[in-house]
Structure 1
């Protein structure tokens, strides 16, 4: 055991742990976490003050184009193994009821909810972790089979909010209270409140909320009366048409786009689809800030990869022209354009 792994200073251990992730050193990362546990650091602190912030930094390095997708996946796998090792070391015994933890259908960021699951386990709950992308029907079937005290659902991407809402309502129809978390509900949980569901900003808060059944069931009703005008449903129906027409205009106005490789074409279609999906989610919750935050993020991601921010303007303008009769979508698109750097417009 090295001096680094024997330290109880998580600040000191953090840089070493990141180095292990950068070097794809699974054994070194695991040794470091176990060394902290041997030195008396509580398992919950190792998970929340070492693994969680390191994984957030992994995501930032990918966003800044400092790490490839392969490096990000390798680092995530190592952190998953470390979480398993910490859980095996702690061996908590359940004293409470069953809590089911799962990712929303279509959500593949499974490590954050896994950390929540392990914190709940450390605090005495009998936890079933269902992992990434759980279809709503399968989750409800599971809840019918097992008597769950609560279900904790994670959503990392706001574009999944309409699906999240359907999943939340399906759980409630099974009379199982729901708590949600993840960046997909907004940094302050504002979109969880719009959907009328209890929200926790982190794992300890989720544990406290789940232990307080009155608070868990006391979320205010959803505020979605605006959906009666059918704008969201109409926008979703036009998704394929919007992507196709935006791609056609891109090829017409940007000659280089006609020579895209298959990989470049796939990436472009994916980006065009994400723009529509985030726009639809903003319409669903009636909050244009959801879309503007995405546009700013997308512009930053593309910029880190050498793609000028102006590349985002063309599809936004195309969608604005196509959706001029969609008031909430048109407003979000206008604000999205305004959120881009002045040099891009």
Structure 2
């Protein structure tokens, strides 16, 4: 276990501190991680700065270490739980009486990356909002029920992975139909939040600090017709979603025939391959839903880098894209999107 003894005064700009905190969460050392954030707070560092300059960036590093295959998924989960414990300890030290209004903060259905949005919830609470933090993966109907029960002034929705955008769209449309404006956040909404606007969100923020500022200075936004962005998707999107099981089953058979090395895979490797094929289909569906091929090509770029870090031969991804493409020859937009992905390889 990492031993870290804080020596006041601690400084957030000390690179040794950030590395020490990363080691603590990586070791699952809740006591040490809590000790660091509370020592900083005792030294007069505002809680907002500790969240934004230490806890948040450390979590980003945790994700990078997993993607680079330096940390296992189990270690990444343990580190996240440790960071959440440190955040909770810091939040327990700060009390601000609500004065601005009430806001619901949640991850869209299927989105499980909750720590960034939990930081947002605490930042909003410190800015005087009464916050209902609903946590990860909130089903749309449950979210709407909560809104009718509580009547908040705003909803903050987080989406970190683009495959969840169709569900994000359903949630945004339902919120706005209930008369409650939505501010969206998370990298799943694309560069500069471009997909948030397509999906009808009233605003988008690049991070917690920008969200707090927007909600404090330019809220509520002017009302708009909630039905303007209510309908997306087409026959191609519907076909891919409805036939996902067949696409995967047929794709795995074709992949085995086209990539003989799979014959030596064990059960774990076969499960991982099926999961990767599922991601191909899901990101394709999201790209078709918004008519945004970039969603798919960025996924291909990222997946190629992750597979390389895990020593998966580079032809494997290309063959995977090809076996999905060969099942969609009657769907021109799907074919064009898959060809764009292949060109990135």
For 2:11, which of 8, 11, 23 is the aligned residue?
A: 8
Q: Superposition pairs for residues 252-331 of structure 1, below 5 Å?
A: 252-331=257-336
Paired with 1:170 and 1:220, the residues of 2 have a C-alpha distance of: 9
Larger helix proportion of the pair? 1
Paired with 1:187 and 1:75, the residues of 2 have a C-alpha distance of: 27
Whether contact under 8 Å (1:103, 1:133) holds in the other structure is: yes
Paired with 1:219 and 1:173, the residues of 2 have a C-alpha distance of: 9
Shift in alpha-carbon separation, 1:281–1:19, aligned structure 2, 3 A: same
Q: State the Cα RMSD in Å.
A: 1.9
Equivalent position of 2:115 in the other structure: 111
In the superposition, the TM-score normalised over structure 2's length comes to 0.93
For 1:90, which of 91, 94, 119 is the aligned residue?
A: 94
The Cα of 1:208 is off from its aligned counterpart by 2.2
Paired with 1:218 and 1:116, the residues of 2 have a C-alpha distance of: 25
Equivalent position of 2:208 in the other structure: 203
Q: Superposition pairs for residues 129-144 of structure 1, below 5 Å?
A: 129-144=133-148
The Cα of 1:308 is off from its aligned counterpart by 1.6
Structure 2 SS opposite 1:250: helix
Deviates more, 1:205-214 or 1:172-181: 205-214
The Cα of 1:52 is off from its aligned counterpart by 0.3
Paired with 2:225 and 2:54, the residues of 1 have a C-alpha distance of: 32
Aligned residues: 339
In the superposition, the TM-score normalised over structure 1's length comes to 0.93
Q: Superposition pairs for residues 195-234 of structure 1, below 5 Å?
A: 195-197=199-201, 198-211=203-216, 212-215=218-221, 217=223, 227=233, 229-234=234-239
2:177 is the counterpart of 1:156: no
Q: Superposition pairs for residues 37-186 of structure 1, below 5 Å?
A: 37-186=41-190
Whether contact under 8 Å (1:105, 1:133) holds in the other structure is: yes
Paired with 1:337 and 1:255, the residues of 2 have a C-alpha distance of: 20
Q: Give CA-to-partner distance per residue, 1:66-95, whole Å, 9 cap, x none.
A: 001111011100110011011111122211
Equivalent position of 1:343 in the other structure: none
Paired with 1:214 and 1:24, the residues of 2 have a C-alpha distance of: 41
Paired with 2:123 and 2:27, the residues of 1 have a C-alpha distance of: 27
Q: Which runs of 5+ in 1 are unaligned?
A: 341-345
Shift in alpha-carbon separation, 1:23–1:84, aligned structure 2, 3 A: same
Deviates more, 1:236-245 or 1:112-121: 236-245
Equivalent position of 1:19 in the other structure: 23
Q: Which runs of 5+ in 2 are unaligned?
A: none
